[in-house]
Amino acid sequence: MAYTTIDDPSAYFQTALYTGDGNAQTITNDGNSDLQPDFVWIAMRSHADNKIWYDSVRGVTKRLVSNLNSPEATVSDMVTAFNSDGFSVGTNSNVTGDTKTFVGWNWKETADAGFDIVAYTGNGSNRTISHSLSAVPKMMIIKNLSATSGDRDWAVYHQALGNGSFCLLNSVAAKDDSDGFFNATTPTSSVFSLGDNTRVNANTDTFIAYLFAEKQGYSKFGSYTGNSNANGAFIYTGFKPAFFMAKASGRAENWYIFDNKRSGHNPENEQSFADVTTAEETTDYIDILSNGIKFRYNSVGLNGSGENYIYMAFAESPFVTSTGVPATAR
C-alpha cells in the first residue's frame, strides 16, 4: 500500500519574516510552492504588541487579536490582501512599524490539508455545525466576534483534553471542564457539537471556527509529558516541523510558538506567545528534527516533570514521502 502524505507542505503552510518600514508592503513567501493564504497570524518579534489575526472568510478588513478577548474590529490598514504567494500589509504600526521585525504564519484553507474555517450564528442551545473536512477535527479554535456579548474568550477544543474540557487561547489558564462548550460530544467527519456557553454559542452572536484535522506527514495534534531534563521529551510527528505550538494543560502557562525560519538552526531558541503581547524571547527550548520535536530545556512552561502538554504542529517536509522514500534531510 502506498504511503499517503503531502510531499510539499509549503503549498499549505509557510512562515514569512519581514522588517517594517512604516509603509505598506507586500510580503512574499519563499517556499517551494506558491501559497495564497486564507489565514494569516502576525506577531511582532522585536517589540511587545498584539498578535494580529486575519482570515479570508471574514475578509481583510476584519481584525482579531489572539491575546485579547476583544470582539472583531474593522481595521483596514493592517492585512490588506491575500495574494497569490503571500499577503499585503498597510501602514498600521502593528504590522509594519519602522525598523520593527515581524513573523507571519500563513495557512491555506482546504480539506486536502485538513483545515476549514466556518462562520456561524449562535442560538444559545445545544447544536451541531457542519464542516467540510471529511475528517474528524483534532483541534478547534472558536471566537465570538460580537461586541454585544460579555464573554468573548478564544475557546480551544483539543482531542487530548477530551470533549468535556477546554482551554482559552488568550489566557495562561489551565484547562477547565464544562459540557457547555462542546456538549461533551466528540466532533465527527461532518459536524462539530456546541453547548450553550456564550464563548461558543451565545444567541444571535456571530462566531468563527478554525478546524484542524490530522494529515499524515503534514500535521499533528497530540500531547506529551515533560521530564524537566535537558534531555527532554521527544514528540514523533512523522515530519520535520515548520510550526509548533504547545501549552501546559494542567497549569497556568503560556501558549509557546516556534517555527523553522526565525532561528533556522538547533536549538530553536526564538519563540513567541499566542496569549500575551510579549516580544519574541530567546531560550534554547527545542530541537526541530526530521521526524519531530526534542525538548532541550527544563522549563515548566514546556517540559516540567510529570506535567502534561497539548500541541499542534505543521510540516516543513514529511519524514517519508508518498513514494515511501524518506525525505532528504535539510
Residue-wise pLDDT for 126-180, tens only, equals: 999 999 999 999 999 999 999 665 679 999 999 999 999 999 999 999 999 999 9
Would you state the pLDDT for residue 328? Answer: 53
At a CB cut-off of 8 Å and minimum separation 6, what does 1 contact? none
Would you state the pLDDT for residue 329? Answer: 45
Q: How confident is the model at residue 101 (pLDDT cuts 50, 70, 90)?
A: very high
Find the angle CA(326)-CA(327)-CA(328) to the nearest 5 degrees.
120
Q: pTM of this prediction?
A: 0.95
At a CB cut-off of 8 Å and minimum separation 6, what does 314 contact? 9, 12, 13, 107, 218, 219, 241, 242, 243
The answer, yes or no, to whether residue 89 has pLDDT greater than 80, is yes
pLDDT over 90, % of the chain: 88
pLDDT over 70, % of the chain: 94
What are 263's three cell numbers?
A: 532561528
Domain boundaries, the chain: 9-107, 115-212, 219-318
Would you state the pLDDT for residue 138? Answer: 98
Would you state the pLDDT for residue 59? Answer: 96
Single out the residue of 277, 246, 238, 241 nearest to residue 68, CA to CA. 277
Would you state the pLDDT for residue 330? Answer: 43
- Which one-letter amino acid corresponds to residue 198? T
* C-alpha distance from residue 57 to each of 39, 81, 207, 268, 275 (Å): 9, 12, 11, 33, 23
Would you state the pLDDT for residue 151? Answer: 79
Instruction: Please answer whether residues 314 and 9 qualify as being in contact, where contact means their C-beta atoms are separated by less than 8 angstroms.
Output: yes
- Reported as a single tens digit per residue, the pLDDT across 222-256 is 999 999 999 999 999 999 999 999 999 999 999 99
Please tell me the distance from the alpha carbon of residue 128 to that of residue 72, in angstroms, as a whole number: 23
3-state DSSP of the chain: CCCCCCCCHHHCEEEEEEECCCCCEEEECCCCCCCCCCEEEEEECCCCCCCEEEECCCCCCEEEECCCCCCCEECCCCEEEEECCEEEECCCHHHHCCCCEEEEEEECCEHHHCEEEEEEECCCCCEEEECCCCCCCCEEEEEECCCCCCCCCCEEEECCCCCCEEEECCCCCCCEECHHHHCCCCCCCCEEEECCCHHHHCCCCEEEEEEECCCCCCEEEEEEECCCCCCCCEEECCEEEEEEEEEECCCCCCCEEEECCCCCCCCECCEEECCCCCCCECCCCEEEECCEEEECCCCHHHHCCCCEEEEEEEEEEECECCCCCECCCC
* C-alpha distance from residue 325 to each of 2, 160, 310, 328, 330 (Å): 11, 30, 30, 9, 15
More confident residue, 324 or 207: 207
What are 188's three cell numbers?
A: 465527527
- Reported as a single tens digit per residue, the pLDDT across 15-64 is 999 999 999 999 999 888 899 999 999 999 999 999 999 999 999 999 99
Query: Which conformational region is residue 78 in: left (phi greater than 0), alpha (psi within -120 to 50 degrees), or beta?
Result: alpha
The answer, yes or no, to whether residue 211 has pLDDT greater than 50, is yes
What are 200's three cell numbers?
A: 461558543
Residues linked to residue 298 through DSSP beta bridges, in sequence order: none
- Which one-letter amino acid corresponds to residue 43? A
Would you state the pLDDT for residue 322? Answer: 64
Query: Which conformational region is residue 75 in: left (phi greater than 0), alpha (psi within -120 to 50 degrees), or beta?
Result: beta
Mean pLDDT of the chain: 94
Instruction: Please answer whether residues 158 and 169 qualify as being in contact, where contact means their C-beta atoms are separated by less than 8 angstroms.
Output: no
